Chain A
């Protein structure tokens, strides 16, 4: 029992089994920061097969169950860095490369992964390099011998860079124009298919299916812009039809078109990088009436002017502010200044109050700043950011951004057993990480199992 975990602690890179551990053990700590349901004092967690089986206050633990018994420790979910290029060193293109996958760039042998786990990071969203529309990010666990072993979820998001330059808007519009072309082509093909079906049915008359086809046509006209992939449509009526008749199979879009088709259908989400208030408005202008899920990446520069667009009201914007859209903002925990002054701002706080969701990432994509990630976040809490939002911004919010919010990011029953054990409150300056558990396996620290 304890032998392998000791081995792990000393040589995590030597870990070979990709399969989650089937070990069964209990954890008893002074406090658990669940993130989803607040704080549990005297928390007990049962872990089995790399998942949380149960969590609660002072739960009885059966005799004989191995136990991590640290009443002076605090446990919180493993940290999720949703925006990183740790361990990647590929080059990126400059313009339209939405079909690039960061997954293809993965280099499991990188020593960075073994290091970053020690700093509490159990999930990484890795994005492809480049300008313009550089491609799709992948969610990985920072351990494993092959890219497949590292992969948790793919794709996570399509990275789009929006700058106050004519090129940026054009790229985005071009992408959706291609999707338009695909839709038009598909619509024609679908109509033809429908006609053929009708003709077939006339040969072998059956009234009911006939009506249904008509119904469907009306529906299609209503949602002109919407995709007609009957297969993926969650609507129940259609699935009814599916069982009865032959299904139309849409053609596969071109690789560079597909991400935009997927954006529209909701299969893929976008993370748009902007660096100023102006670029946010240009983004809205470029998006116009297009509907897809997007969040924001905003690198915190010292005098960033993002406060102008946190909400619509303060500066009487003619468009929604970031908060009004309730999008996520991926940002560094950094105090900024009102341009030209020494007036400090806590943009995370401002954005959160306006309705945006905060996703923190380390100040720089270096190991050092991963190590100081909690400390830097604590500075934002000291400067007025709500503690709950700060905790979420390190765990559940990035998990949701990456599309793995159902699976990890909080201490809940059924979720991955990703834990960071601390010797005190996460935001106290003297607190240090004591141990890290990834999908049930002790990756770092002496837990006494």
Chain B
């Protein structure tokens, strides 16, 4: 087999990032940090996790697939791995995942000899929804609280199809970082042939803010400097908060109000230690939003302790290595710096098309190469991004009741040599290497 080292060694993984230990701590921390809505969401997640397997035979009008694989990496709360394993998919949802057992009647059987099943990967920082560069920023005003990326979504475009063939099934398509409050992104699935309604998971899925570098020299007359940007962002945020206090909805700020009431997450483009700390201070410490700090490149890892202390999750990429800032002669894996500082729910991103979307897994493997634990990196491509965006009730792991988004590979999901043989989204085969030829 391709993988000479079993990535799937959760036993080893539990040593440092043991789910049993870390899970309650994390939830406790989140509970204190999040508001009422957050708690409600968590409750929802918890209930979905405790769902009982459904082993009943299919009704004649129901569709179901039974996948038998050499290995099933659930990436669930207990990091269960089944070698071999069985996944039952009923009406687009997972009905059973576990050791092979008798398959209830009515299921279409797929025997994937040697295949490794993992959850579809989740990307939080992606611009390929338009099919190419462009159409991601208006570049007129620095603050665009009404801007929606979903207007430019082209489902099943070439880039999305490649993403699917690379095992990335859920994406957060967002406006670019040319403007400061860049707008609202759309959470969608990488179905290869589907209409708009069929692919959108949530719209808006969250807000996108660009807080350092790129927006500083572009768009608008205000906000040419970082201080100016900060003022603009706080100004508009304060207006949204005021509206929330008055229990009214400002049509222009409606979605920003949802961010401030912790209903929607916000992904912040921030890189460099100054921008990174500034973003965390504003969006986590001051406003207490469900923020995710994206990029964290260059010397941003210097702020790891501070970020982790505030409980702001990191979405690292596309640069995951730093050489020049430390001046200690070492090539530093930024992800391992965050993990060493105790970062929870760290995810990686490609910022596609900065890096090809289909290579999201490589961000994980390269971080593993530079010192991070490889199993944690698998989580960083799946359950972690789902969790920080509050969609872990639907995607990010193989658990009963969740969307049947599965990727079958020939081996270790982080190994470039492992081919993707089959991708199912919502229980439907979207990419089949045998049928479609190898796209990636």
Direct contact of A and B (CB under 8 A): yes
Q: Report A's interface with B, CB cutoff 8 A.
A: 338-343
B residues in contact with A340, CB < 8 Å:
323, 327, 329
- Chain B window 314-326, contacts with chain A (Cβ cutoff 8 Å), 1 for yes, 0 for no: 0000000001000
Q: Within 8 Å of chain A (Cβ to Cβ): is B436?
A: no
Report A339 CB to chain B, min CB distance, Å. 8
Of A338, A340, A342, A343, chain B has the most CB atoms within 10 Å of the CB of A340
Cα distance A343–B327 in the bound complex, in angstroms? 9
Residue numbers in B under 8 Å from A343 (CB-CB): 329
Q: Within 8 Å CB of A339, what residues of B?
A: 329
Total B residues in contact with A, Cβ cutoff 8 Å: 4
Interface of A is mostly: loop
Verify if B59 is at the interface (C-beta below 8 Å from A): no
- Closest Cβ of chain B to A337, distance in Å, is 8
- 3 tightest A-B CB contacts, nearest first: A341-B329, A342-B327, A340-B329
Pick 7 A–B contacts, CB within 8 A, sort by A.
Answer: A339-B329, A340-B323, A340-B329, A341-B327, A341-B328, A342-B327, A343-B329
Q: How far is the CB of B131 from chain A (nearest CB, A)?
A: 41
When chains A and B are docked, how far (Å) is the Cα of A338 from the Cα of B328?
A: 9
**Residues 298-351 of B contacting A (Cβ, < 8 Å):** 323, 327-329
Inter-chain contacts of B323 with A (CB < 8 A): 340
| A341–B329 alpha-carbon span in the complex (Å) | 5
Interface string of B20-39 (1 = CB under 8 A from A): 00000000000000000000
- Bound state CA distance, A340 and B328, in angstroms? 7
Give every chain A residue within 8 A of B327 (Cβ-Cβ): 340-342
A342's closest neighbor in chain B, by CB?
B327
Alpha-carbon separation in the docked complex, A339 to B330 (Å) = 11
Residue of A338, A339, A341 with most partner-chain B CB within 10 A: A341
B357 to A: closest C-beta gap in Å: 33
Enumerate chain B residues within 8 angstroms of A341, measured Cβ to Cβ. 327-329
| Docked complex Cα distance between A190 and B329 (Å) | 61
Give Cα A343 to B330, complex, Å: 12
Roughly how many angstroms separate A48 CA and B323 CA in the complex, as a whole number? 63
Closest Cβ of chain A to B259, distance in Å, is 41
**Least Cβ distance of A368 to chain B in Å?**
29
Additional A-B contacts beyond A338-B329, A340-B323, A340-B329 (8; CB < 8 A): A339-B329, A340-B327, A341-B327, A341-B328, A341-B329, A342-B327, A342-B328, A343-B329
| Chain A: CB-nearest residue to B327 | A342
Measured in the bound complex, the distance between the Cα atoms of B328 and A341 in whole Å is: 5
Contacts of B329 in A (CB 8 A): 338-341, 343
CB distance from B278 to the nearest CB of A (A): 26
**Which residue of B has the minimal Cβ distance to A341?**
B329
Residue of A nearest to B331 (CB): A340
B326 to chain A, nearest CB (A): 9
Least CB distance from A224 to B in Å reads 50
A146 to B318, CA, bound (A): 67
Distance in angstroms from A343 CB to nearest chain B CB is 8
Cα distance A406–B327 when bound, in Å? Answer: 46
Chain A nearest CB, measured from B194 CB (Å): 50
Cα–Cα distance between A340 and B329 once the two chains are bound (Å)? 5
CB distance from A302 to the nearest CB of B (A): 12
Residues of chain A within 8 A of B328, CB atoms compared? 341-342
Q: A343 CA to B329 CA in the complex, in Å?
A: 9
In the assembled complex, the Cα of A343 lies from the Cα of B326 at a distance in Å of 12
Minimal beta-carbon separation of B330 from chain A (angstroms): 9
CA distance A340 to B324 in the complex (A): 7
In the complex, the chain B residue whose C-beta lies closest to that of A339 is B329
For window 27-61 of B, CB contacts with A under 8 Å fall at: none
Chain B residue with Cβ nearest A337: B327
Closest chain B CB from A147 CB (angstroms): 48
Per the bound structure, the CA–CA distance linking A338 and B329 in Å amounts to 9
Q: Across the interface, name the chain A residue whose C-beta is closest to B323.
A: A340
Interface hub of B323, B328, B329 (most chain A Cβ within 10 A): B329
Docked Cα-Cα span, A320 to B250, in Å, equals: 78
CA distance A444 to B299 in the complex (A): 53
CA distance A447 to B137 in the complex (A): 76
- Min distance, Cβ B324 to any Cβ of chain A, angstroms: 8
Say how far A307's CB is from chain B's closest CB, in angstroms: 14
CB distance from B322 to the nearest CB of A (A): 12
Alpha-carbon distance between A407 and B271 when the two chains are bound, in angstroms: 63
Contact code string B133-163 (vs A, CB < 8 Å = 1, else 0) = 0000000000000000000000000000000
Query: In the complex, A340 Cα to B325 Cα: how many Å?
Result: 10
A269 to chain B, nearest CB (A): 38
The B258-272 residues at the A interface (CB cut-off 8 A) are none
Question: Which residues of B401-432 are within 8 A (CB) of A?
Answer: none
> In the complex the two chains form, what is the Cα distance from A342 to B327 in whole Å?
6
Q: Which residue of A lies closest to B324 (CB)?
A: A340
B262 to chain A, nearest CB (A): 43
Task: State the Cβ distance, B346 to closest chain A Cβ, in Å.
Answer: 27
Q: Across the interface, which residues of B come within 8 angstroms of A338, CB to CB?
A: 329
Alpha-carbon gap, A262 to B134, bound state (A): 69
Shortest CB-to-CB span from B327 to chain A, Å, is 5
Q: How far is the CA of A304 from the CA of B328 in the complex (A)?
A: 16
- Give B328's nearest chain A residue, CB to CB: A341
CA A14 – CA B327 in complex, angstroms? 53
Q: In whole angstroms, what is the CA distance A415 to B342 when docked? A: 70
The smallest C-beta distance from B306 to any residue of chain A, in angstroms, reads 22
A342 to B324, CA, bound (A): 11
Mark contacts of B167-184 with chain A using CB atoms, 8 A cut-off: 1 yes-contact digit, 0 otherwise: 000000000000000000
Cα A340 to Cα B327 in complex, Å, equals: 6
Q: In whole angstroms, how far apart are the Cα atoms of A339 and B328 in the complex? A: 9
Q: How far is the CA of A70 from the CA of B411 in the complex (A)?
A: 87
Whole-angstrom distance between the Cβ of A304 and the nearest chain B Cβ? 15
What is the CB-to-nearest-CB distance from A279 to chain B, in angstroms, rounded to a whole number? 22
